[in-house]
Amino acid sequence: MSLNHIVTLLALAAAMVPLAAAAEPCPGNSQALGTERVLEVDARSTPQVGRKHFPNTLPLARKELVLTFDDGPWPGTTPKVLDALKRECVRATFFLLGRNAKAHPELARRALAEGHSIGHHTFAHPLLDRMPLDRAEAEINHGIEADEYAVYGQRRGNPITPFFRFPGFASNKALLDRMNQRGLVVFGADVWASDWNPMSPEQELRLILARVEQVGRGIVLFHDTKAQTARMLPAFLRELKRRGYRIVHVVPAGSRGVLN
């Protein structure tokens, strides 16, 4: 390893120093899991994250987790998910579907108001890897514009939070290159609850806890449209606390102090 290489690594390590101090007290819940720290993420240093599909993930320490929720907002389930996160003072990232944000803008705005990051997940959830690039990009933009309008009241193509997750993780090199050129961070996942399969909340809780213990750190994927996920979330968060896991909130680079 050259000296230059070492200097670069040291600079990178310094950039990864936790940005937030220890969790603030959580109103009404002295035993809350809380949010341990805020991590700024940008497409230059971490263009694609999540080891299920990519070689790298976010720079997380052992027992650090980033919680993410896809496909919402959805009446009935998203409010329960938001309630559970609020009770534990945990901040997560929601990858919205444009059509759901358009139909339920008040829920999308509630997620923002409660301090969560708002990422994007297309308008109607098609698999983008098997359509022409321009059509795929039009679908991505349609979703981003619908989300931005629902959440911020402005229809912009460059989202406030440039985080994107491909429906079904269906991407290809041309699309990934395009996302990177646009400065959009592509989120995969390190672990998931398979909550697209029907199961009881108890089964889902056991499954996700076992998988989290296996990977030890990383990006956790749930769907806030799923009743079983909404129902098991309070117990999941309490169990993470009991087992010594810590929550990291991802935000766009340079946004601390601007967003919540």
Given the rule CB under 5 A, which residues bind Zn ion?
70-71, 167
Shortest Cβ distance from residue 118 to Zn ion (Å)?
15
Measured from the CB atom, the residue of 36 and 71 that comes closer to Zn ion is 71
Looking at the Cβ atoms of 94 and 236, the one nearer to Zn ion is 94
Which member of 70, 71, 147, 195 is catalytic? Answer: 70
Residue 5 annotated in active site: no
Nearest to 96 by CA among 104, 88, 85, 86: 104
Rg of the Cα trace of the chain? 18
Q: Considering the candidates 104, 223, 224, 249, report the single residue annotated as catalytic.
A: 223
> Is 238 strand, coil or helix?
helix
Report residue 173 as tokens: 């090199």
| Residue reference for tokens 């810590």 | 246
CA distance 58 to 219: 8
- Active-site residue 70, yes or no? yes
Minimum distance from residue 141 beta carbon to Zn ion (Å): 17
CB of 101 to Zn ion, least distance (A): 13
Nearest residue to Zn ion, using CB?
70
Within 8 A by CB and 6+ apart from 243, the residues are 63, 209, 213
Residue 56 burial (CB count, 10 A): 13
**Cβ proximity to Zn ion, 86 vs 165, nearer residue:** 165
**Closest separation between CB of residue 121 and Zn ion, Å?**
6
User: Smallest distance, Å, CB 188 to Zn ion?
Assistant: 12
Q: Which residues, other chains included, contact 68 with Cβ-Cβ below 8 Å and sequence gap of 6+?
A: 92, 93, 94, 95, 119, 165, 187, 189, 219, 220, 221, 222
Instruction: Pick between residue 149 and residue 169 the one whose CB is nearest to Zn ion.
Output: 169
- Token pair belonging to 171: 């991407």
**Residue whose CB is less far from Zn ion, 127 or 259:** 127
Active site residue ranges: 70, 223
